[in-house]
């Protein structure tokens, strides 16, 4: 794990960078493992890493139908925050935030975590009151939160239209200073490297087409590269959860799959030094280290497994951006992409044993999957290794919807696309 250092950078610079080792092995599947993790995204890789690191379970395979980073871990807007209202979400995401703060050192891999803050804009007095309530709830749990005036926002975000004649006048905002961004593909590569060094097999281009069963118990997977037996099978495939679980005979889950688009502009000189969100619509934006504006908004209004979206959302998101930053009207959009998100009925995740013996499920991340990566992997690994939840994911059960103990942070009710 000490491979990356100033000395190794200097040594490889002098040798023309010919001696770098591959970040992870291109493993071939073996007939059997203790644990098979289905899904080689951030959550699946983090789970495998913590199974090996925290629980000593190294006989693990991560099977990914494409290449690492081809799913949602490489298709998001990279925001990391813990500014939630309800205690269950606050404690989980704040633990994840603390893990982010030491993740590069933990993995000996630079995930480019930048604590530039996250500012939620308020456009009405009632909305500012709600932000004050949320901020007080955060501080009660020991999470940093700061209510900001319009004047202070104008000084910190100079390109923002804070005038009284703005289309949606700003009356204040809620800032979490420790929030920020990370490099999404670096997170996948860092966890892949860490898991590989601990003995985990990472198997790419290996799609799960079915499940092996022994009675009611899941006993392995059927893949495009052969059958693999396993004592435990863990599924962490984000927006494809419904399709994969149907192959295990589970036809109904309290989630929906929908497309969430993201966009990148041409590079600009640095002017936006925080993550900013729009209070009168669904819009969020940050500026990358390369200068491009990374931004997104609401879901496309239909269920889909496609990794692309449609033009109405492009128009809506752009209109919201220009309502905040009129000076960006002539900036060019370079590219866009779509991620398939698994929207739960209450907007909170599911990390649990079941719903079949030998099967473990991680899904329902809505908009919050990337920021949850470290804590999700830690909690899912604990659940798999010990057949009981970690205290942080104990509330995120599958049967909470049946029991009526939902964790509805936004108060939107059982409407997945509103979370």
Delimit the domains of the chain by residue range: 24-78+184-254+346-418, 112-179+256-344
**Whether CATH 3.30.9.10 fits 112-179+256-344:** yes
| Closest among 274, 316, 84, 59 to 177, alpha carbons compared | 274
Distances (CA, A) of 394 to 186, 267, 351, 399: 29, 43, 8, 12
**Whether CATH 3.50.50.60 fits 24-78+184-254+346-418:** yes
CA distance 7 to 102: 21
Mean pLDDT over 262-276 rounds to 96
Q: How many residues does the chain have?
A: 419
> pLDDT digit string (tens) for 202-256?
999 999 999 999 999 999 999 999 999 999 999 999 999 999 999 999 999 999 9
CA distance 89 to 411: 13
Using pLDDT thresholds of 50, 70 and 90, give the confidence band for residue 1: very low
* Antiparallel, parallel or unpaired: β 201-203 and 60-63: parallel
Higher-pLDDT residue of 20 and 246 is 246
CA distance 280 to 257: 25
> pLDDT digit string (tens) for 76-124?
999 999 999 999 999 999 999 999 999 999 999 999 999 999 999 999 9
CA distance 174 to 331: 27
CB proximity list for 276: less than 8 A, separation 6 or greater: 118, 119, 121, 157, 160, 284, 285, 286, 324
Residue with tokens 């693990």: 60
Distances (CA, A) of 19 to 189, 198, 374, 378: 18, 21, 30, 33
- Is it the case that residue 195 has pLDDT exceeding 60? yes
- Is it the case that residue 7 has pLDDT exceeding 50? yes
Residue 69, Cβ density class (10 Å: 0-12 exposed, 13-18 middle, ≥19 buried): buried
Total-model pTM: 0.96
CA distance 174 to 130: 10
**117: which 2 tokens?**
């803050």
Q: What is the percentage of the chain residues whose pLDDT exceeds 90? A: 88
Contact, 110 vs 287, CB < 8 A?
A: no
CA distance 194 to 184: 16
Q: 3-state DSSP call for residue 271?
A: coil
């Amino acid at each position: 794990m000490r491979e990356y250092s100033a000395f190794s950078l200097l040594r490889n610079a002098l040798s023309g960078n010919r001696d770098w080792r591959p970040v992870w092995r291109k493993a071939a599947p073996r007939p059997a493992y203790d644990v098979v993790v289905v899904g080689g995204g951030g959550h699946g890789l983090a789970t495998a890493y913590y199974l090996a690191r925290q629980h000593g379970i190294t006989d693990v395979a991560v099977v990914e139908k494409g290449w690492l980073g081809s799913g949602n871990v490489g298709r998001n807007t990279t925001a990391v925050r813990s500014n939630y209202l309800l205690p269950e979400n606050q404690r989980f995401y704040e633990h994840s935030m603390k893990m982010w703060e030491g993740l590069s050192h933990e993995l000996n891999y630079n995930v480019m975590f930048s604590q530039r803050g996250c500012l939620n804009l308020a456009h009405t007095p009632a909305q500012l009151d709600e932000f004050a309530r949320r901020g007080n709830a955060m501080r009660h749990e020991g999470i940093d939160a700061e209510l900001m005036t319009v004047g202070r926002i104008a000084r910190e975000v100079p390109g923002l239209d804070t005038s009284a004649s703005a289309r949606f006048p700003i009356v204040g905002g809620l800032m979490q200073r420790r929030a920020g961004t990370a490099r999404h593909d670096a997170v996948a590569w860092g966890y892949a490297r860490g898991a590989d060094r601990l003995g985990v097999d990472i198997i790419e281009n290996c799609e799960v087409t079915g499940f092996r069963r022994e009675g009611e118990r899941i006993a392995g997977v059927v893949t495009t590269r052969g059958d693999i037996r396993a004592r435990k099978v863990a599924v962490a495939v984000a927006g494809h959860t419904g399709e994969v679980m149907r192959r295990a005979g589970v036809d109904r889950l309290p989630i929906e799959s929908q497309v969430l688009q993201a966009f990148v502009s041409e590079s600009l000189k640095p002017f936006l030094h925080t993550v900013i969100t729009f209070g009168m619509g669904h819009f969020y934006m940050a500026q990358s280290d390369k200068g491009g504006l990374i931004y997104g908004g609401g879901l496309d209004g239909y269920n889909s497994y496609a990794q692309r979206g449609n033009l109405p959302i492009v128009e809506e998101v752009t209109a919201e951006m220009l309502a905040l930053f009129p000076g960006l009207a002539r900036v060019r959009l370079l590219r866009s992409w779509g991620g398939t998100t698994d929207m739960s009925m209450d907007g909170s995740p599911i990390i649990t044993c079941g719903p079949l013996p030998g099967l473990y499920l991680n899904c329902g991340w809505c908009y919050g999957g990337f920021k949850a990566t470290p804590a999700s992997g830690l909690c899912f690994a604990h659940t798999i290794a010990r057949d009981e939840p970690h205290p942080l994911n104990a509330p995120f059960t599958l049967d909470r919807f049946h029991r009526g103990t939902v964790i509805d942070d936004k108060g939107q009710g059982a409407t997945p696309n509103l979370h």
